[in-house]
Structure 1
């Protein structure tokens, strides 16, 4: 028997796996979101930020080490609406403290919630990042979130407040040199994130 009129079938992880590899697919609350690969400014901002954090916090070069910093990891969270089903989200960057995740998993995805995520927003996906993904990250206990906008040249900082959700902190702009939790052990030059 088919679906009732007006009711769409919930997408599954099998639907996500069927998406062509030149696209980015995410599964949130039973809805499959298929997105284009990042545009050059988006990719540059994520790459530049990842390089700064990876060197200092994963490798310990010029910073304290003690983290895994990864580009576009696939995160699996329980679907809050259907027991036994999963969501699959792909932040631009994510970080785990090694004390919480001493080794990388053998799977192609992560079941352990990261300590930090970063989404690089663009006009076509900003609402999805803010309205769909940020609540999922809060629900799953991600403690720190950054939203980077390479067109507006901003870095928005969020901290999770238990029982209340995200608390928006500072918004850093332009060529500011900043120290931002949880990576405030080093100074970041935001001008490196904005393509010239």
Structure 2
């Protein structure tokens, strides 16, 4: 007897994503639905503090150059290259756009324009997904800077765009005080990100 053909999996749709309870975070990449619990307290703290630290100087122009939109958990829509007409939908913990590229916020509930900077705060449940699924999407879409923050290991990994791929350029740890692109105009004290 011949081998039975494998059953073709149905591609997830935006309707599947919308059906996910609001107590979860959902993304749709390559026709696959990824669902994760809401962030744990250390994760939420690191993301919130980082948003405050860079939002004042870069979005509000307080102690920095301004000229950015810095947003928590924006829904990004990118065309899925494997399925024309479908979108990959990702939700970074933080993202930033230079206002020269996006002078006004869109009227849609999502962002069709890739950010200039994205940040993922890692957790044991999301780390592999963030590294192996999302970072390649950010590279493909031309996100110039990606940061991975790990509140458990107390690290900030920096990636930069090179030939449509995000490549690692450095890791900063613990209580380092750093100036990192694209926000090198301010010194960032990493100890502020780790819950005390």
TM-score w.r.t. the length of structure 1 is 0.96
Q: Name structure 1 gaps, 5 residues minimum.
A: none
1:3-31: CA deviations, max 9, x gaps? x7432111011110111111110001000
Deviation at 1:169, TM superposition (A): 1.1
Aligned-pair Cα RMSD in Å: 0.9
Q: List aligned pairs for 1:90-169, cutoff 5 A.
A: 90-163=91-164, 165-169=165-169
1:45 matched to 2:46: yes
What corresponds to 2:177 in structure 1? Answer: 177
Offset at 1:124?
1.0
Q: Secondary structure at the match of 1:6?
A: coil
Q: Which residue of 2 aligns with 1:26?
A: 27
| CA–CA distance in structure 1, aligned partners of residues 90 and 125 of structure 2 | 17
Match for residue 79 of structure 2?
78
> How many pairs does the alignment contain?
192
In structure 2, runs of 5+ residues without a counterpart are none
Deviations 1:21-76 (A, max 9, x none): 11110001000001100000000000000001110100000100000000000000
Structure 2: distance between partners of 1:120 and 1:6: 36
User: 1 CA distance for matches of 2:103 and 2:138?
Assistant: 21
SS of equivalent to 1:134:
helix
Whether the 8 Å CA contact 2:57–2:66 is kept in 1: the answer is yes
SS at match of 1:170: strand
